[in-house]
Structure 1
C-alpha cells in the first residue's frame, strides 16, 4: 500500500477550513475525520437515547452501536473478549479508576512496592504517588540510560523484586517518542508475581497494539489522540483479574442489587461503567477504529518513521538546536527540541504566527524533563495527515525565530 498523507488529509474537515495550518500537535490531540463526525451526528439526530436502559427502538439502536464499538476496540488491541473493554472518560480517568480498583480490592497495601518509569505522563504517575503516600507504599522509578532517551532495563531488573506488587510502564513517550520494550518489563514483573499496567495513550492509533504480545495485565488509552472524539477512553484488563476487582467509581448501572445498607455488583464490564457514558463518543471511537484499520496502522507506523528520520536530520542541521527524540526506528512519531538562546515558548509563538501548531512546555512529564536536563521543550508530533512539506515549513519557522531573536 502506498501511504498518501495528502489524500488522507482530505478526510479531515479542519484542514478544509484551515488550509494553511501545519498541524504538528497530534500528541496533544489528533484531528477528527468526517466519518467519525458523521457517526456522532447520526446518534444525536436519529437515535439519541440512553444505553441498556430502554426497550424502545432508539435505545436499542444506541445500545447496539455502543456494544459494536466495544467489539471493534477489542479487535483493535487484540483482546480475547470484548467484555474486557471498559469505556471511560479518557486515559486520565482510566488510570485513576484502575488504581482505585486495585486499592479497593486489597491489591495494594502498606509496605508494598510499585515500580514505574521516569518517562511517565502525569496521568499515570500521580495516581501512583497518591496511593503510595496515602497507604504507605513505596514507589520507585526506572531511570534513563546515561545520555540517552532510552530506559535502563538493567536497572529495571534490579528494581523489580519480590516486594513489588505493581509495575506501570508507558508504551511510548509523549515527549521523546521512545517506544519502550514493554514485553521485556512485563516478563520481569510477572517473574515476581507483580501486575503490569501499560499506558498506551501515545501509541494507540500510531502503532499496532496487541495486548497478548505486550504481556501486560492492564492497558489504557484515550480516543482523542487516535482520530476519535474527546472525552472517551478505554481501559482493558484481563478478564480473570477484572472479575476479582471492586469498582473504582460508583453509581447507577453497576449494581446487581441494592439495599439500604449495601450494594452488590454486576459482572464485567458493567461493574466498571457507572452512570450514563459518553455514548456518542464511544460510537465515534468505534468509527475511528474502522478508519484506522482502513488506513492500516502498520503502514502508518512505517510512514511515521520516515517523517521522524527527516525531522531529526533537518532539525539537527540547524545551529543551536538540540533534539530530544528516539531514533526513527524506535520512535512513535514525536520529536522534541530546544533552540539555544531562545525560550521554547518564544519558538512556539513565532511558529504559531506562521500557522505551525506545536506544543511547548514539559508536556505533563516533568520528571522526564528534569532527567533530560531541560525546563521545557518545543514538541513536533506527526500523524497520518502530515507530509514532508510540513517538516520543511517547521524548519523555516525555526530559522525565522532565530532571525527574530538575533541568534
Structure 2
C-alpha cells in the first residue's frame, strides 16, 4: 500500500471514511456538520512519527495526545482517563508506535491493546521502527483482548528491504467501505457504460492498479530472513550492542543521550553534542562521521517533531519563534539530534569502531568547524574543499557492446583497516589548530535567528571565543 507506514495509515483512513478532500473542506467546511458527540476520536502517543500523527490531524477525528509516564513510555493512566472521557464516542481508535524511532523505547503493545479494547476502542499499531527487530503478534493466544486491529509496517526498514511496499494488516470487519480506498483497475467485478460493481475480495479490492509484484516478493524474502535469524536472537544481540554504546557514551560529558537510558529499547540511539555551553549542529556531526570514518548517521528530528520538543525542552513560545525563522527559509535554525542504530550482524570490531568514532567526534570535532561551511538555508555542512566524487554514477554505465557494462570500484574496507582510521583521526585532532582555519564570510542571518541560535559557528571557534549558552532548555 504505497510507501511504508505512510501509505498504510492513509489507506486505513480512507477505508474508514475519515477524510474529507481539502478543497471541499476549505470551501464548504463539511466537518463542522458532524455533531461533536458523533465525531471519531483518535488517541496517539508521545513519540509518534509524523506519518502516524499528521494524517489523523487532517482527518475528521478529534486527536487526543497521550504523554509519557515517568519512565518515558506511553502513559497508560492518562490513556485510561481519556478513554473514560470519550467512552460514548461511536468510533474510538488508539494509534500508537510500537517503538520510538528516536529513542528506541518499546511500547507495551499488549497492555495498551487490552486497555483500549476494555473501553471499546480499536487498537492500531505503527511498527515502522520496531518491525525489523521484534515479534509482530496480531493475536496473542493466551491474551485474547490483547489483539491488534490494524498494523502498519514499513517493510523497507527491514534488512534487505529497500524497494519493498508498505504493509497494512487489518481485521476484515474494518473494511465496510462500499468504495475502495483507491478505485481503479483490478478493483471491479464488472463495468459497463453506466454502472460498475466492485469485487467482494477485500485484498484485491484495496489493491487498485498494477500491484508491486517483484517488490512484494522481495518483502516476503526479507520477512523470511528475519524469521530465519529469529526475533529472540535479534533482540539478544541488539540488546548487547545498545548497552555497550550507551554505557560507554554516557561517560562522555560532551554526549547527551536522549530518552530514558534504562528503558527497554531497540538498538537506536539519538544524541546531541555539547561544547562550551552550546551545541554542535547535528548536521555538522553527521558530516564529520561521514567524512572521517565513512559512518552514515541521520541528523534532524527524525520526522518526530512533537517528540523532539519534549526531548529538547522546547516550549510553544520558542517553537513559534523557530517556526517564524524556518518560514523565512532558514532551515539551519531547527534543533535536532544525531541518530545511529546497530544491526544484529555488526561484528565486535565494527561496533567498537563506531563507539570510538563517535567519542572522538563528540570530544574534538569542534576543532574542525573552521574547515566546514554552513548553509543556513539548507542546514548542510560541507568541507571547504567541496564534496567528494560519488563512488558510483549512472553515467558510469555503458551499453556500447549491446550489454550493460560498468567498472567495479571496490568500496569495502577490511576490519583491520578500521583502527587506522581511528589513529588518523586522533592524530589529526591532536595536531590541528582551529585558529589556522580558513576565514568564513559572516553568516547572513536576522537578529531573531541569532537570538535563537543554539550552535557554534566556524568563525567563533577560529577566534577562540567562548559564548553563553543559548541552547534549547532541558527539563
For the criterion TM > 0.5, the same-fold answer is yes
Q: Which moved more, 1:165-174 or 1:374-383?
A: 374-383
Alpha-carbon offset, residue 292 of structure 1:
1.5
Q: Of residues 121, 144, 147 in structure 1, which corresponds to 2:49?
A: 121
Alpha-carbon offset, residue 332 of structure 1:
1.8
Whether the aligned pair in 2 keeps the contact of 1:150 and 1:326 (CA below 8 Å) is no
Name the SS for the 1:103 alignment partner. coil
- 1:347 and 2:288 are equivalent in the alignment: no
- 1:233 and 2:166 are equivalent in the alignment: yes
Name the SS for the 1:185 alignment partner. helix
Alpha-carbon offset, residue 326 of structure 1:
4.6
Distance of 2:270 and 2:238 partners within structure 1: 15
Distance of 2:139 and 2:191 partners within structure 1: 36
Q: Of residues 147, 150, 153 in structure 1, which corresponds to 2:73?
A: 150
Q: Of residues 186, 200, 211 in structure 2, which corresponds to 1:253?
A: 186
Q: Which moved more, 1:328-337 or 1:275-284?
A: 328-337
Alpha-carbon offset, residue 404 of structure 1:
3.1
Distance of 2:130 and 2:18 partners within structure 1: 29
- 1:195 and 2:119 are equivalent in the alignment: no
- 1:397 and 2:320 are equivalent in the alignment: no
Name the SS for the 2:183 alignment partner. coil
Q: Of residues 224, 227, 243 in structure 1, which corresponds to 2:156?
A: 224
Distance of 1:373 and 1:119 partners within structure 2: 13
Distance of 2:178 and 2:149 partners within structure 1: 13
Q: How many residues align?
A: 315
Name the SS for the 1:330 alignment partner. coil
- 1:303 and 2:237 are equivalent in the alignment: yes
Distance of 1:122 and 1:245 partners within structure 2: 29
- 1:185 and 2:112 are equivalent in the alignment: yes
Distance of 2:18 and 2:188 partners within structure 1: 16
Alpha-carbon offset, residue 154 of structure 1:
1.1
> Measured at CA, do residues 324 and 405 of structure 1 come closer, stay the same or move farther in structure 2, by a change above 3 Å?
same
- Give the aligned partner of residue 428 of structure 2: none
Alpha-carbon offset, residue 371 of structure 1:
1.2
> Measured at CA, do residues 390 and 144 of structure 1 come closer, stay the same or move farther in structure 2, by a change above 3 Å?
farther
**Structure 2 residue runs without a partner (length 5+):** 21-30, 141-145, 314-334, 368-460, 462-475
- 1:97 and 2:11 are equivalent in the alignment: yes
Whether the aligned pair in 2 keeps the contact of 1:172 and 1:180 (CA below 8 Å) is yes
Distance of 1:169 and 1:245 partners within structure 2: 27
Q: Deviations over 1:215-242 (max 9, x none)?
A: 2100010211112232412100112333
> Measured at CA, do residues 404 and 169 of structure 1 come closer, stay the same or move farther in structure 2, by a change above 3 Å?
closer
- Give the aligned partner of residue 339 of structure 2: 379
Supply the RMSD in Å over aligned alpha carbons.
2.3
Whether the aligned pair in 1 keeps the contact of 2:15 and 2:177 (CA below 8 Å) is no
Alpha-carbon offset, residue 319 of structure 1:
1.4
Whether the aligned pair in 2 keeps the contact of 1:91 and 1:222 (CA below 8 Å) is yes
> Measured at CA, do residues 303 and 360 of structure 1 come closer, stay the same or move farther in structure 2, by a change above 3 Å?
same
Distance of 1:171 and 1:326 partners within structure 2: 16
Name the SS for the 1:319 alignment partner. coil
> Measured at CA, do residues 231 and 89 of structure 1 come closer, stay the same or move farther in structure 2, by a change above 3 Å?
farther
> Measured at CA, do residues 260 and 158 of structure 1 come closer, stay the same or move farther in structure 2, by a change above 3 Å?
farther
Name the SS for the 2:217 alignment partner. helix
Q: Of residues 292, 296, 307 in structure 2, which corresponds to 1:357?
A: 296
Alpha-carbon offset, residue 333 of structure 1:
1.5
Distance of 1:123 and 1:181 partners within structure 2: 20
Alpha-carbon offset, residue 262 of structure 1:
4.6
Distance of 1:260 and 1:197 partners within structure 2: 40
Name the SS for the 2:113 alignment partner. helix
Rg (Cα) greater in structure? 2
Q: Which moved more, 1:319-328 or 1:345-354?
A: 319-328
Distance of 1:191 and 1:322 partners within structure 2: 39
Q: Deviations over 1:309-352 (max 9, x none)?
A: 11110110111211124556611221111111312111111111
> Measured at CA, do residues 127 and 261 of structure 1 come closer, stay the same or move farther in structure 2, by a change above 3 Å?
farther
TM-score with structure 2 setting the length: 0.62
